[in-house]
Structure 1
Amino acid sequence: MTKRFNATQINAELFWKFPKFLSENKKYANLTNDDRVAYMLIKDRYRYSLSNNWIDKDKNVYVYFTIEELRQLLHVGKNKVTRVKNRLIDAGLLEIEKDGFNPKDKKNYPDRIYLLQPEYDPTDLISQSSHVSALEQSGIPKMGTNKDNNSSDTIKDTDQWNFSTNNYTPEQVAVQNQDLLSHLGETLTGDKEAPMFLNKDSINLIAKWFSTPEGASECISTILNAANDSRKNAESQIGHHELYFEDYNNELKRMITNRLRRYFNKMRTAKDGEIKNPKNYLYIAMRNMFDKWQNDVLMTEKD
């Protein structure tokens, strides 16, 4: 008998983000669904690349993604993966640079994979099929018009819709950031008590230590990457396995909070230059914790 999702399980799941242009932009209509999924999987690796400082001399981010890894995730053969990569290259969405043998450390390195930004028009950012047609069918008037067909309500000054920090004073930016950080949990999921896989204490802790929403978001992404990679490693060893954040009376969530406090304490007390990459340090700390958690859970289940 199949089980339905309950409210706590929804927040515990891990997701990939699928770029809408892959389906809605006509320039890429000839891509297959495997091509689109491959682009999504590769782009998801960028957060992991940032945590490992995989950035070239031109400050471009690259990923390492072997044919075997893609083959397993796409559930296809190696020849199919090669064709997928070639189609993405032909579409102008992918570049590959061969690293090969590095005489300095005497190691062979896999190819560097660079995703390329898509070509799109501003209208491509709006889902015409899923939003506009639905509004028209529902009888809801279009924005910027009234019953007299007067377009005077339309905002003509696009600068009013430019929310770059360049359009605000430093004082205004500080107030905006503080508001977003003080409501970080609600901003992320709309759930004040248990946003995403973190508890309220973890969210509040992150908000205290980062001065911008971007920094807080990167911190959360780093923790999520560590959890996701730990789960994938467990799956590669024992088959299908989920990392449940609600198990054992939320013990794992409390462990995340404690590990975060230890991390921030280390950042504050470490000597200058002792920790060269704070983001990578957080990833490793969280990854080790998730690995141990899963191992303990699996050993308990085995016993």
Structure 2
Amino acid sequence: MTKRFNATQINAELFWKFPKFLSENKKYADLTNDDRVAYMLIKDRYRYSLSNNWIDKDKNVYVYFTIEELRQLLHVGKNKVTRIKNRLIDAGLLEIEKDGFNPKDKKNYPDRIYLLQPEYDPTDLISQNSHASALEQSGIPKMGTNKDNNSSDTIKDTIKDTDQWNFSTNNYTPEQVAAQNQDLLSHLGETLTGDKEAPMFLNKDSINLIAKWLRTPEGASECISTILNAANDSRKNAESQIGHHELYFEDYNSELKRKVTNRLRRYFNKMRTAKDGKIENPKNYLYVSMRNMFDKWQNDILMDKKKQEDNK
């Protein structure tokens, strides 16, 4: 039976942002859907690059994305990944710089991947799929009018407004971005709930730990989502094995929150003390660590209940 999403699962779900120009700009109409998805996946890595300060001497951001990683995410062969990269290069959306062997570090480094900004047509900023917006169709008065009814003026105003309301890190200095991130992280609990008095799945110690170790709001959000995914997957696994039951993590908040905090500290300690390269995917490692903790905790609770029932 197909299960519907509940509110907790929707908030915990991870997703990628798909740039609209990849589908709407005619210049890139010849790209395949695999090409578009690859561009989106690489663009998503920029958040990770910023958190690791992967910025070259010209202040351009680059990413590391191996052929094997792309192959696994796209579910295609290595040769097809190479063709995808070449098509993105031909479309003027990608550049690759060879790093190779660094004699100073005595290490081989993967290629640096640079995404290139697309060539926008001003009309790309206006929807071409409808002649009237939902606001116009609703009969609600507009906030302003174009006195000369000049479409070029409207396009210029749209571009100006879009730029003013674009909060991308590219529009701020590194110092401004650092200050913004620090403010959001210092109020992480309030940011997550919208109400500092609202109950949280994580306690204050866990929130402070995440804010201290993850250097960007995006990183903190992914960390919290990973914990929630591990909790939900553990519960679903238990339900699939023993059927419906009334055990919910929220019923044991105080105990569970302390366990999550302790496991987080152990995780961050492992990340700090592990040898370079030993843990290839820190996010997956966090998921597995939390999942094991949730599974054991849930199993202990259920076994204790069973013993109590058997003794009646």
Q: TM-score range by the shorter chain?
A: 0.5 to 0.7
- Kindly indicate whether the alpha-carbon contact (under 8 Å) linking 1:8 and 1:246 is maintained by their aligned counterparts in 2: no
**Greater mean alpha carbon deviation, residues 181-190 or residues 239-248:** 239-248
Distance 1:30 1:298 in 2: 56
Shift of 1:46: 1.6
Shift of 1:73: 0.4
Question: Could you tell me the percent identity over the aligned residues?
Answer: 94
Distance 2:59 2:173 in 1: 28
CA RMSD of aligned residues (A): 8.3
**Greater mean alpha carbon deviation, residues 235-244 or residues 145-154:** 235-244
- Kindly indicate whether the alpha-carbon contact (under 8 Å) linking 1:95 and 1:115 is maintained by their aligned counterparts in 2: yes
Partner of 1:222: 226
Pair 50,269 (structure 1): closer, same or farther in 2 beyond 3 Å: same
CA-to-partner distance for each residue in 1:25-63, whole Å, 9 max, x for gaps?
A: 333232222111111111111222223332222222211
Which consecutive residues of structure 1, in runs of 5 or more, have no partner in the other structure?
none
Distance 1:6 1:82 in 2: 40
**Greater mean alpha carbon deviation, residues 37-46 or residues 15-24:** 15-24
Shift of 1:138: 3.9
Pair 89,77 (structure 1): closer, same or farther in 2 beyond 3 Å: same
- Kindly indicate whether the alpha-carbon contact (under 8 Å) linking 1:54 and 1:63 is maintained by their aligned counterparts in 2: yes
Shift of 1:108: 2.0
SS of residue matched to 2:95: strand
CA-to-partner distance for each residue in 1:228-281, whole Å, 9 max, x for gaps?
A: 999999999999999999797487766676799999999999999999999999
- Kindly indicate whether the alpha-carbon contact (under 8 Å) linking 1:19 and 1:40 is maintained by their aligned counterparts in 2: yes
- Kindly indicate whether the alpha-carbon contact (under 8 Å) linking 2:89 and 2:95 is maintained by their aligned counterparts in 1: yes
Shift of 1:7: 0.9
- Kindly indicate whether the alpha-carbon contact (under 8 Å) linking 2:49 and 2:61 is maintained by their aligned counterparts in 1: yes
**Greater mean alpha carbon deviation, residues 122-131 or residues 260-269:** 260-269
Pair 92,204 (structure 1): closer, same or farther in 2 beyond 3 Å: same
CA-to-partner distance for each residue in 1:127-163, whole Å, 9 max, x for gaps?
A: 4537954334444444424999999999999999899
Distance 2:51 2:174 in 1: 29
Distance 2:270 2:165 in 1: 41
Partner of 1:127: 127
Pair 252,66 (structure 1): closer, same or farther in 2 beyond 3 Å: farther
- Kindly indicate whether the alpha-carbon contact (under 8 Å) linking 1:51 and 1:283 is maintained by their aligned counterparts in 2: no
Pair 191,66 (structure 1): closer, same or farther in 2 beyond 3 Å: farther
**Greater mean alpha carbon deviation, residues 190-199 or residues 268-277:** 268-277
CA-to-partner distance for each residue in 1:54-95, whole Å, 9 max, x for gaps?
A: 222222221111111111101112222112111211221111
**Greater mean alpha carbon deviation, residues 152-161 or residues 56-65:** 152-161
Distance 2:256 2:158 in 1: 50
Distance 1:289 1:151 in 2: 60
- Kindly indicate whether the alpha-carbon contact (under 8 Å) linking 2:85 and 2:94 is maintained by their aligned counterparts in 1: yes
Distance 1:214 1:191 in 2: 20
Which consecutive residues of structure 2, in runs of 5 or more, have no partner in the other structure?
304-309
Shift of 1:16: 1.6
Shift of 1:113: 0.5
What is the 5 A alignment of 1:25-40? 25-40=25-40
- Kindly indicate whether the alpha-carbon contact (under 8 Å) linking 2:12 and 2:228 is maintained by their aligned counterparts in 1: no
How many residues matched? Answer: 302
Distance 2:234 2:62 in 1: 21
Residue 189 (str. 1) matches residue 193 (str. 2): yes
Pair 175,245 (structure 1): closer, same or farther in 2 beyond 3 Å: same
Q: What TM-score, normalized by structure 1, do the two folds share?
A: 0.56
Distance 1:295 1:18 in 2: 40
CA-to-partner distance for each residue in 1:88-121, whole Å, 9 max, x for gaps?
A: 1122111100112222233222111011122225
Shift of 1:217: 8.4
Q: What TM-score, normalized by structure 2, do the two folds share?
A: 0.55
**Greater mean alpha carbon deviation, residues 230-239 or residues 201-210:** 230-239
Distance 2:71 2:277 in 1: 40
- Kindly indicate whether the alpha-carbon contact (under 8 Å) linking 2:56 and 2:62 is maintained by their aligned counterparts in 1: yes
- Kindly indicate whether the alpha-carbon contact (under 8 Å) linking 2:12 and 2:229 is maintained by their aligned counterparts in 1: no
Shift of 1:23: 2.4
CA-to-partner distance for each residue in 1:182-209, whole Å, 9 max, x for gaps?
A: 9866766767777998667766898999
Distance 1:60 1:171 in 2: 15
